[in-house]
Amino acid sequence: MEKFVPSEGLVAPMDRANVDTDAIIPKQYLKSIKRTGYGPNLFDAWRYLDHGEPGMDHSKRRLNPDFVLNHPRYRGATVLLARENFGCGSSREHAPWALLQYGFQAVIAPSFADIFYSNSLKNGLLLIRLDPKTVDRLFKEADAAAGYRLAVDLDAQTVTTPRGESFGFEIDPFVKHCLLNGLDEIGLTLRHADKIKAFETQHRAEQPWLFQ
Amino acid sequence: MTVGTRARTLYDKLWDSHVVHVAKDGMTLLYIDRHLVHEVTSPQAYEGLKLAGRKPWRVDSIVATADHNTPTRNWDKGIAGIADPVSRLQVETLDHNIKEYGARVYFPFLDKQQGIVHVIGPEQGATLPGMTLVCGDSHTSTHGALGCLAFGIGTSEVEHVLATQCLAMKKTKSLNIVVEGTLGRGITAKDVILAIIGKIGSGGGTGYTIEYTGAAIRALSMEGRMTLCNMSIEAGARAGMVAVDDQTIEYVRGRPLAPKGAMWDRAEAYWRTLVSDTGAKFDRVVTLDARSIQPQVTWGTNPQMVTTIDGKVPDPAQEKDPVQREWITRALRYMDLKPNTPITEIRPDKVFIGACTNSRIEDLRVAAQVVKGRKVAPGIKLAIVVPGSGLVKRQAEKEGLDRIFTAAGFEWREPGCSMCLGMNDDQLSPGERCASTSNRNFEGRQGPGGRTHLVSPAMAAAAAIAGHFVDVRAF
């Protein structure tokens, strides 16, 4: 797991419900066998006016001026504000890779899809669930003031507005611990290798057909 | 194995029987019996394993195939038949990784038993009741049809399972979806699951594991149950399942990787316990009346955006919630549909019968029955049938289904994921509309700018013949 770095940053509002992982990173970029290089293709079909394929020089493509991330006031945003069920659809981990490699460190929404949630946290992209009313308010504030920023404190589990108003959020203590310390989850699991072996021996005795 | 006196759900039983370790905070190490691997989500996991100097924990848990990038034509050209060099490299990388690390069985591109990973799992007996089964693909929920705990995982988790045979996770809440009564004539599992998603929404199952119960679910064939469980993720649930019954047992019996002889008897005795106990408590229960379910067609860019064949495209002006209104407005713009358009007036350009949702032999039989002796309408540019596996393809050819399709004007292709997500050459062009038996109608899913309408195989076949969506029951 990558470490989450405490973040205070510019907010970009993505005012759409049910943003799916096909929209976050389209299928043609899933052909890559690498973990890197997805940033230029985040929200590819919305962000550019022309069709993109792997291997293109994306800096030369025509940007869609109406797409929120292309607005000059949101350049350099590190916090994405989103609506309900963000990240629904496929299990592609390329979605959090693309968000992180674009420069986002945290996403705030009323709800996230389960697989996307787990994939994101494993890569150090912090997903913050706030109640729909609070998210709505943050959308209004981000819209009203250019340069709107939020401070995210994982240790304190708070999101703080420029006026100093704080909202608490929930996160699993184990996940928080891993995020704060950038722990290797596989390494942690392998500390229980003896237990896994013991379980396997018993499981094999009970259901031998699983080991044929 | 934890055995209490408390009445347990099927999910409880599957979970309890795989717990390796529980930490104080409830984080559980869950043992994984079967790991299905395909070319798209595994290369970075194998790379991570190698970089860390680790070895797979148990390679005989792995069953692998290449399905997402593989072409559905030009198999005679061999690996060169994958025209896109980036796709070809991904398929070759899987070959290389399996050769280096090993697997219980591998069905590479061009193998006679290759196919969509979620079709070949059950078909080969690689999926068995009582298992925990994972794959780096969200439609892994399909396998829950056999009474196992099956769910999609990301690439980090693929690496975690390769290295440790476990996942660290917390138990989800449980959702019981009950479909009571008898389905009407011509109503399929696809219509049932689309109706469920329409009712609970695409986030309705988030944080839950679903068990489908009720007379209508019992009456579904095993392949119908796979269609049902396949789209659990479209309702937000990572896993969906159906309890073991006689049908499950008969389906598994004799499959290549299923136990045999005395081992079979022992397995069967255990599998028959894989039902929710009477009185077992679910966190939430949703009930549908089977008789109210009509043929379903999606009109928008999310599976939740669905109505019945006699319905109309909704009017966003009727939606009070501003976020929902904006969502519908945007979807209609993308789909180029006007509010209140009758569904039967929507005319597809292409028809796709296939995908892990609906590419099994029963799906092809139902579709063939509709098209038999008829012709694809002149307005349809392309109608393709893509069987789910090499074995499904050969069975269909044995039954003459391929000739029924080709005589009607369909193309009969080689197996793979194909136009469900268009990672190969099978794609929609911008603006094209498709009647599709796949599972996702997201923007650009079947090709950039493509417009997807999700339907059952029978409804897709009927739309191909009529040139517009039509009630297959009146056919």
pLDDT tens-place string over residues A54-107: 999 999 999 999 999 999 999 999 999 999 999 999 999 999 999 999 999 999
Is the predicted pLDDT of residue A133 greater than 70, yes or no? yes
Q: Which of B206, B266, B441 to mutate to test the interface with A (most CBs of A within 10 A)?
A: B206
How many C-beta neighbours within 10 Å does residue A200 have? 18
Is the predicted pLDDT of residue A5 greater than 80, yes or no? no
Q: Is B417 helix (H, G, I), strand (E, B) or coil?
A: coil
Q: What is the pLDDT of residue B324?
A: 94
Q: What is the pLDDT of residue B333?
A: 98
- Closest Cβ opposite residue B236 in set A30, A45, A113: A113
Residues in chain B with CB shorter than 8 Å from the CB of A186 are 52, 54, 159-160, 163-164
Is the predicted pLDDT of residue B287 greater than 80, yes or no? yes
Size of interface A-B (CB pairs under 8 A): 196
Mean pLDDT value of segment B222-234: 98
Q: What is the pLDDT of residue B5?
A: 73
Q: Which amino acid is at B345?
A: E
pLDDT tens-place string over residues B342-359: 999 999 999 999 999 999
Burial (CB < 10 A; 0-12, 13-18, 19+), residue B1, is exposed
Residue B282: pLDDT band by 50, 70, 90 thresholds? Answer: very high
Max CA distance (Å), chain A: 65
Is the predicted pLDDT of residue B122 greater than 90, yes or no? yes
CB B126 within 8 A of CB B63: yes
DSSP state of B14: H
Helices A114-122 and A173-181: crossing angle, nearest 10°? 30
The more confidently predicted of residues B25 and B170 is B170
Mean pLDDT value of segment A134-155: 97
Q: What is the pLDDT of residue B430?
A: 97
How many C-beta neighbours within 10 Å does residue B110 have? 17
Q: What is the pLDDT of residue A3?
A: 80
Alpha-carbon span A178 to B79, nearest angstrom: 42
Residues in chain B with CB shorter than 8 Å from the CB of A30 are 40, 68, 423
Q: Which amino acid is at A127?
A: L
Alpha-carbon span B252 to B194, nearest angstrom: 27
Residues in chain A with CB shorter than 8 Å from the CB of B54 are 186
Alpha-carbon span B448 to B57, nearest angstrom: 40
Kindly determine whether residue B157 and residue A45, on different chains, have CB atoms separated by under 8 Å: no
Q: Which of B42, B166, B446 to mutate to test the interface with A (most CBs of A within 10 A)?
A: B166
CB B115 within 8 A of CB B65: yes
Give the N- to C-terminal CA distance of chain B in Å, as an integer: 53
Q: What is the pLDDT of residue B111?
A: 98
pLDDT over 90 for what percent of chain A? 94
CB B388 within 8 A of CB B415: yes
- CA dist A61 to A48, A49, A50, A55, Å? 7, 8, 7, 12
DSSP state of B76: G
The more confidently predicted of residues A174 and B208 is B208
Q: What is the pLDDT of residue B3?
A: 54
Q: Give the mean pLDDT of chain B.
A: 97
Burial (CB < 10 A; 0-12, 13-18, 19+), residue B413, is buried
User: Closest Cα to residue B156, out of A115, A44, A149?
Assistant: A115
Is the predicted pLDDT of residue A14 greater than 60, yes or no? yes
Is the predicted pLDDT of residue A4 greater than 90, yes or no? no
Is the predicted pLDDT of residue B2 greater than 80, yes or no? no
Quote the tokens at residue B388: 């789910």
Mean pLDDT value of segment B10-21: 98
State the nearest Cα–Cα gap between A126 and chain B, in angstroms.
16
Q: Give the mean pLDDT of chain A.
A: 96
Residue B368: pLDDT band by 50, 70, 90 thresholds? Answer: very high
User: Closest Cα to residue B138, out of A95, A99, A54?
Assistant: A95
How many C-beta neighbours within 10 Å does residue A154 have? 19
Kindly determine whether residue B164 and residue A186, on different chains, have CB atoms separated by under 8 Å: yes
Alpha-carbon span A160 to A100, nearest angstrom: 21
Q: What is the pLDDT of residue A26?
A: 97
